[in-house]
A and B are shown apart, each in its own frame.
Chain A
Amino acid sequence: MLRALLLFAVTALAGCGEVWNDPYPASERTSNTLYSAFVERPKHLDPVQSYTEDEARFTQQVYEPPLQYHYLKRPYELIPLSALEVPKPREIEGGKFTVYEIRIRPGISYQPHPAFVAGNHALAPARIARLKSPYELPAATRELVADDFIYQIKRLAHPRLHSPIYGLMAEYIVGMAEYSEQLRKADTKKGEWLDLRRFPLKGVERVDSHTYRVTLKGRYPQFVYWLAMPFFAPVPWEAEKFFHQPGMQPRNFTLDWWPVGTGPYMLTENNPNARMVLERNPNFRGEAYPSEGEPEDAQAGLLADAGRTVPFIDRVVYSREKEGIPYWNKFLQGYYDTSGIGSDQFDQAVRVAIEGEAQLTQEMEARGIGLQTSVATTIIYVGFNWLDPVVGGSSERARKLRQALSIAVDMEEYLSIFANGRGLVGHGPLAPGIFGWRDGEQGINPVTHVWKDGAARRRPLEEAKRLLAEAGYPDGRDAKTGQPLVLYLDARTTGPGDKPRLDWWRRQFEKLSVQLEVRETDWNRFQEKIRKGSQQIFILGWNADYPDPENFMFLLHGAQSRMKSQGENAANYANPEFDGLFERMKNMENSPERQKIVDRMTDIARRDAPWIWGFHPKDFSLSHGWLANVKPNNMARNGIKYLRADVEKRAALRREWNRPVLWPLVLILVVLAGSAVPAIVGYRRRERMAARPAS
């Protein structure tokens, strides 16, 4: 019996092939597929709502906004995607309005989709109830026209869709606010499709079938950057009509979950709990792999495919991986082609982080794993609440205290312990790669660092202690009362794994004999505290929307104070000179003059030290040797089309790395069988005993 079972087990397992631990079906083994993982399930895939990077990795493969960022060039450069060229702003009425005229590339077709078949717009509810995927229906396509872009811009104002950028756009796009009001009145029947084509939007007009114009109030040079985000990607009205049929919503058939676009891939399987599958869009027009890049790109082999038509990969399988250990181990076994974390994960509670090394271990090098890092356009900072009586305000005493703390918090050590060295110490509000950021000696923050022997060095602790004493706290105790100085750090709970980090923070303040009490709260409470301005010291981060100094400096703009006006200035920092310069700098084109203003603003901010400038994390990604053309791009997530995989090599290596080790299994069976022996012996003895008369 046992032997039969064993035999069965062995034959059954042999049927799986030589590798037992392949999480994917055997039939896929040699297909041209990219394997990746996602940690958090995406919340929205509708381009008017989707804003996070978790979502962008799906939406940006499907939707094509007018512009995109160059894959290889740094600093980031905008190039046309579905547009013919990057639009130039044209001022009219003496600068009162700015007009962007966008000409789109003719001949682009949508992915095959049932929405383009008129017969699918009036399906019987029973038919819908039987559907597992919208792609079971007959599909068709049509050409991309300017109206689709206009339709999407109108959707930004849709009362039932909550676009995070509506508020911002309503300030700039002519007629947007009134348009939203008009739609709200028209939207009387809940759940029914509101045909936006019937309502014209003043600031957006169609010139011809492939050209449209957007009119903005005043100047807003940063607008072109928004044109590179899915918010401005085309959406066909047919898709909205199709998904608004009764019975679609309860089956999760909505535009929010089933994107329809012109991009290189289409989302064909949508199960955010387990896996998402992107497949090549057969109607994709084709795009040439870039032929220029940074100087070192050619050497790294990133230009080997120059001029070839992308995409190279047919299918992308994203598996949900919630825990770090499985994620990492599957990568090492070759079942994920890349591993890495997005840089906006500090935004929300993250439970998983991959603890990969910035330095490859020998074993990993032997496996051909490569490491790519690039500095993210992100800053993680420690803010001092400007309104706090102890650490805030422009008094000399508070400034010295902040400066002392800025020196004491050893960000270099933080990076080496918690980020494996993946990051750059911050010296000011701007992230590297942003216009106005300076490298080298000019770029250091003189408050915390000195330039010595060709490198920035943190000022010695003695200076911090001196500043602290000057601020009125010699040895960390109030000179007047003798009471020890206690400060409060508000942090966001990410889980029980926070302990080491909290201990570290406490230790930084301890170096100055200042006691730090860390108050951890969940994200909501943390936000609430900041809204009310009741925090003292806090940790936050900002991830650039677009590579422009305005997108960082506004975090310190007095008028954007979080407590006073619900803006993004969480430290509530206010300095009239800084604010004045910001207003001037905001709408300027990049120029030496702008650089000068940015420098001045940086100096003011450094001296006032409303933030400890924290660090700029490095985006890093580890990838296996069979994957070519990997280069992290912080602004865009649409790089999958450029990747190429050597499928044969991958299959061979996976086989080699994952040979099952069988002897322990045999051993376990033997031990189990062996443990049955005393039982049998005992049983025999019992039986014989029972036969004897009871004593």
Chain B
Amino acid sequence: MPFLPVFLTTDVLLWLLVCVSAGYGWYCRRHAHLAAPWVRVFQTRTAVVSVVILTPYLLVGLADSLHFRTRLEQVGAGSAASYSPEVLSLLDIAASHLRSRREKTYSAPFATRLYAKEQIELADGRQVRDFPRLQYGGAHLRDEEERVVDMSRRAAAGLAAAAALWILLAWVVKPLRRRWAAVPWGAAWWTVGPLLVIAAPVLLLSEGYHVFGTDKVGQDVLYLSLKSIRTSLVIGTLTTLAMLPFGIGFGIVAGYFRGWVDDLIQYVYTTLNSIPGVLLIAAAVLMMQVYVDMRPELFPTAAERADFRLLMLCGILGVTTWTGLTRLLRGETLKLSELEYIQAAHAFGVSNARILTRHILPNVAHIVIITVALEFSALVLTEAVLSYIGVGVDPATTSFGTMINAARLEMSREPIVWWSIAAAFAFMLVLVLAANLFADTVRDGFDPRVRMVAIAA
């Protein structure tokens, strides 16, 4: 094989999540009552627009979740095949031009020279102090004067491609439009337009320039931003996944059985809640770090270590956030178990386990779905803050938090290096905003009370 697949735990979980979601979607299609809220969601323009915006994020994140090691050339004749110790992802291959073209240090967006002056030795041996040319950024230009022309040529080509694609897309959408008439395809199409208009020229420009500049060690900031997306997605989704078993289990059990079970569960979550969250997370993260340090043999590569830390961070965040969901579910279950049909089930001697899974769980599912949707963006923001204060992801992991953290040094430089923080800001804002909007429509679609309000208003 030319490569050896590497299964990082978060990769597996993320893909598992994708499969489960797909399965759930398929299941929903066959059950009208389950599909109904989703139909309501996708009939709103906001939902469609935000899904269109989220899709590229998702694609980038998933592409970055397929890891492998490439094969090295054979050295001896009989020796076994050996693989490069470096773990790459599909995204790394797709963006290899961004990954491999590293400058020495900072350079501004679209720059052809470094951001700081250096001693340069001229051909005749003289030393001058000037801004050195970049190794890659704009290196194809024979004369730096051509830069603007070259850039506009690339941008124009990008725009043309975008326009062509856009029109093509209108064609593709047509049959879909006929199939699901209620979905506002127009809104989707109008969202794709601007996305293409931005993405295509950036793509073409990134071939020759560093569109978002380079960071301290000369890495392309666009590449870093793309790599950060996966971290955000993992934190946003896997954390809720880690939280769900606790949240749902404890919540409905406490609400259903009451008595000492309820007391115990309440005790546990009040205790956890009363510890200031950041302290709990910081302590847990440090603890896990020690675990990793004590057992280096379990995590032979940096990628695995960083991945374990990311996974554990999800777990820790999950443990500290499950209490909210538990409280909600406990309240709802208390209410539900008073209802006649549950009482009736009791009277017929239906087992507790059956009542819980067949009657209670489906009826609180909407709360779970709403919570998951709402939590996503909050978690993405939390990751940034935690990484900023140093108890977040592994320093070797690229994330928006680590980018912002680096910016605190960059902003105290003179002259100021603004592009990393600007890139992190833009990428994060769009992601979180889209996620928030989507979560809103999900809530509107699922929450019976909100629906009533919408009708009344």
Q: Which of B42-50, B72-80, B321-329, B443-451 contacts A (4 or more CB under 8 A)?
A: B72-80
Contact A357 B289 (CB under 8 A): no
Cβ of A324 under 8 Å from chain B: yes
- Asked if A502 meets B396 with Cβ closer than 8 Å, knowing A353-B409, A355-B409, the reply is yes
- Give chain A interface residues in 178-196, CB to chain B under 8 Å: none
Contact B216 A518 (CB under 8 A): no
Contact A507 B390 (CB under 8 A): no
Chain B window 339-364, contacts with chain A (Cβ cutoff 8 Å), 1 for yes, 0 for no: 00000000000000000000000000
Cβ of A294 under 8 Å from chain B: no
Cβ of A396 under 8 Å from chain B: no
- Give chain A interface residues in 358-382, CB to chain B under 8 Å: 359, 361, 363-364
A513 → chain B closest CB, angstroms: 9
Contact A324 B412 (CB under 8 A): yes
B288 → chain A closest CB, angstroms: 12
Contact B406 A500 (CB under 8 A): yes
Cβ of B333 under 8 Å from chain A: no
- Give chain B interface residues in 195-227, CB to chain A under 8 Å: 215-217, 219
Specify which chain B residues have a CB less than 8 angstroms from the CB of A502 in the assembled complex: 395-396
Chain B window 269-307, contacts with chain A (Cβ cutoff 8 Å), 1 for yes, 0 for no: 000000000000000001001100100100011100100
- B125 in complex: contacting residue of A324, A453, A488, A501, CB < 8 Å: A453
- Give chain A interface residues in 512-534, CB to chain B under 8 Å: 515, 517-522, 525, 529
Cβ of B116 under 8 Å from chain A: yes
- A486 in complex: contacting residue of B85, B117, B289, B398, CB < 8 Å: B85
Cβ of A140 under 8 Å from chain B: no
Q: Which of A251-259, A477-485, A570-578 contacts B (4 or more CB under 8 A)?
A: A477-485
- B412 in complex: contacting residue of A354, A483, A503, CB < 8 Å: A354
Chain B window 310-341, contacts with chain A (Cβ cutoff 8 Å), 1 for yes, 0 for no: 00000000000000000000000000000000
Q: Which B residue sits closest to A519, measured CB to CB?
A: B296
- Give chain A interface residues in 481-496, CB to chain B under 8 Å: 481-484, 486, 488, 493, 495-496
Cβ of A135 under 8 Å from chain B: no
Specify which chain B residues have a CB less than 8 angstroms from the CB of A477 in the assembled complex: 72, 75, 82
Contact B412 A355 (CB under 8 A): yes
B336 → chain A closest CB, angstroms: 37
Specify which chain A residues have a CB less than 8 angstroms from the CB of B293 in the assembled complex: 519, 521, 525, 529
Which of A417, A484, A496, A507 has the most chain B CB atoms inside 10 A of its CB? A496
- Asked if A499 meets B412 with Cβ closer than 8 Å, knowing A413-B104, A517-B301, A519-B293, the reply is no
- Asked if A481 meets B79 with Cβ closer than 8 Å, knowing A357-B414, A416-B118, A495-B405, the reply is yes
Specify which chain B residues have a CB less than 8 angstroms from the CB of A386 in the assembled complex: none
- Asked if A417 meets B216 with Cβ closer than 8 Å, knowing A482-B75, A515-B85, A519-B293, the reply is yes
Specify which chain A residues have a CB less than 8 angstroms from the CB of B82 in the assembled complex: 477, 481-484
Which of A417, A497, A522 has the most chain B CB atoms inside 10 A of its CB? A497
Specify which chain A residues have a CB less than 8 angstroms from the CB of B76 in the assembled complex: 482
Cβ of A327 under 8 Å from chain B: yes
Cβ of A498 under 8 Å from chain B: yes
**Distance of A486 Cα from B302 Cα, bound (Å):** 11
Contact A323 B396 (CB under 8 A): no
**Distance of A501 Cα from B402 Cα, bound (Å):** 13
Contact B406 A497 (CB under 8 A): yes
Contact A328 B412 (CB under 8 A): yes
B445 → chain A closest CB, angstroms: 28
Contact B396 A520 (CB under 8 A): yes
Q: Which B residue sits closest to A516, measured CB to CB?
A: B302
Contact A522 B289 (CB under 8 A): yes
B312 → chain A closest CB, angstroms: 15
**Distance of A417 Cα from B410 Cα, bound (Å):** 13
Chain B window 131-144, contacts with chain A (Cβ cutoff 8 Å), 1 for yes, 0 for no: 00000000000000
Q: Which A residue sits closest to B80, measured CB to CB?
A: A482
Cβ of B29 under 8 Å from chain A: no
A473 → chain B closest CB, angstroms: 11
Specify which chain A residues have a CB less than 8 angstroms from the CB of B408 in the assembled complex: 323-325, 497
A359 → chain B closest CB, angstroms: 7
Cβ of A566 under 8 Å from chain B: no
Q: Which A residue sits closest to B118, measured CB to CB?
A: A416
Chain B window 79-96, contacts with chain A (Cβ cutoff 8 Å), 1 for yes, 0 for no: 110101110000000000
- A357 in complex: contacting residue of B86, B116, B387, CB < 8 Å: B116
Which of A361, A520, A525 has the most chain B CB atoms inside 10 A of its CB? A520
**Distance of A370 Cα from B300 Cα, bound (Å):** 49
Specify which chain A residues have a CB less than 8 angstroms from the CB of B104 in the assembled complex: 413, 416-417
Specify which chain A residues have a CB less than 8 angstroms from the CB of B395 in the assembled complex: 493, 495-499, 502, 520
**Distance of A522 Cα from B292 Cα, bound (Å):** 11
Specify which chain A residues have a CB less than 8 angstroms from the CB of B217 in the assembled complex: 417, 500-501, 503-504, 507
**Distance of A498 Cα from B80 Cα, bound (Å):** 36
Specify which chain B residues have a CB less than 8 angstroms from the CB of A659 in the assembled complex: none
Q: Which A residue sits closest to B76, measured CB to CB?
A: A482
**Distance of A502 Cα from B216 Cα, bound (Å):** 12
How many inter-chain contacts with C-beta < 8 Å in the A-B complex? 122
Contact B413 A355 (CB under 8 A): yes
Specify which chain A residues have a CB less than 8 angstroms from the CB of B191 in the assembled complex: none
- Give chain A interface residues in 301-358, CB to chain B under 8 Å: 323-325, 327-329, 332, 351, 353-357
Q: How many residues of B contact A (CB 8 A)?
A: 51
- Asked if A496 meets B392 with Cβ closer than 8 Å, knowing A359-B117, A486-B85, the reply is yes
Chain A window 389-423, contacts with chain B (Cβ cutoff 8 Å), 1 for yes, 0 for no: 00000000000000000000000010011100000
Contact B216 A515 (CB under 8 A): no
| Band of interface residues on A | 35 or more
Contact B401 A496 (CB under 8 A): yes
- Asked if A496 meets B117 with Cβ closer than 8 Å, knowing A482-B75, A482-B76, A482-B82, the reply is no
**Distance of A678 Cα from B329 Cα, bound (Å):** 41
Cβ of B411 under 8 Å from chain A: yes
**Distance of A477 Cα from B73 Cα, bound (Å):** 11
**Distance of A205 Cα from B117 Cα, bound (Å):** 60
- B406 in complex: contacting residue of A354, A364, A418, A499, CB < 8 Å: A499
- Give chain B interface residues in 400-430, CB to chain A under 8 Å: 401-402, 405-406, 408-415
Cβ of B189 under 8 Å from chain A: no
Specify which chain B residues have a CB less than 8 angstroms from the CB of A359 in the assembled complex: 117
- Asked if A356 meets B388 with Cβ closer than 8 Å, knowing A499-B398, A515-B86, the reply is no
Contact B302 A518 (CB under 8 A): yes
Cβ of B105 under 8 Å from chain A: yes
Chain B window 92-134, contacts with chain A (Cβ cutoff 8 Å), 1 for yes, 0 for no: 0000000000101100000000001110000001000000000
Specify which chain B residues have a CB less than 8 angstroms from the CB of A495 in the assembled complex: 390, 395, 405
**Distance of A525 Cα from B302 Cα, bound (Å):** 17
**Distance of A187 Cα from B148 Cα, bound (Å):** 80
Contact A522 B286 (CB under 8 A): yes
Specify which chain B residues have a CB less than 8 angstroms from the CB of A525 in the assembled complex: 289-290, 293
**Distance of A502 Cα from B402 Cα, bound (Å):** 13
- Give chain B interface residues in 23-55, CB to chain A under 8 Å: none
Specify which chain A residues have a CB less than 8 angstroms from the CB of B72 in the assembled complex: 477, 482, 484
- B409 in complex: contacting residue of A324, A363, A413, A488, CB < 8 Å: A324
Specify which chain A residues have a CB less than 8 angstroms from the CB of B406 in the assembled complex: 496-497, 499-500
Q: Which A residue sits closest to B84, measured CB to CB?
A: A484
Specify which chain A residues have a CB less than 8 angstroms from the CB of B302 in the assembled complex: 517-519
- Give chain B interface residues in 146-183, CB to chain A under 8 Å: none
A671 → chain B closest CB, angstroms: 21
**Distance of A515 Cα from B87 Cα, bound (Å):** 11
**Distance of A244 Cα from B82 Cα, bound (Å):** 69
Specify which chain A residues have a CB less than 8 angstroms from the CB of B300 in the assembled complex: 517
**Distance of A517 Cα from B306 Cα, bound (Å):** 11
* Other A-B pairs, 6, CB within 8 Å; known A351-B390, A416-B104: A356-B414, A357-B413, A417-B217, A496-B393, A517-B302, A525-B293
Show 20 residue pairs from A and B whose CB-CB distance is below 8 angstroms, ordered by the A residue.
A327-B412, A329-B412, A332-B414, A351-B390, A354-B412, A357-B414, A361-B415, A416-B118, A417-B216, A479-B75, A482-B74, A486-B85, A495-B390, A495-B405, A496-B401, A496-B405, A497-B402, A502-B395, A520-B396, A525-B293
In the complex, the 3 A-B pairs of residues with the closest C-beta atoms, listed nearest first: A328-B412, A482-B75, A515-B85
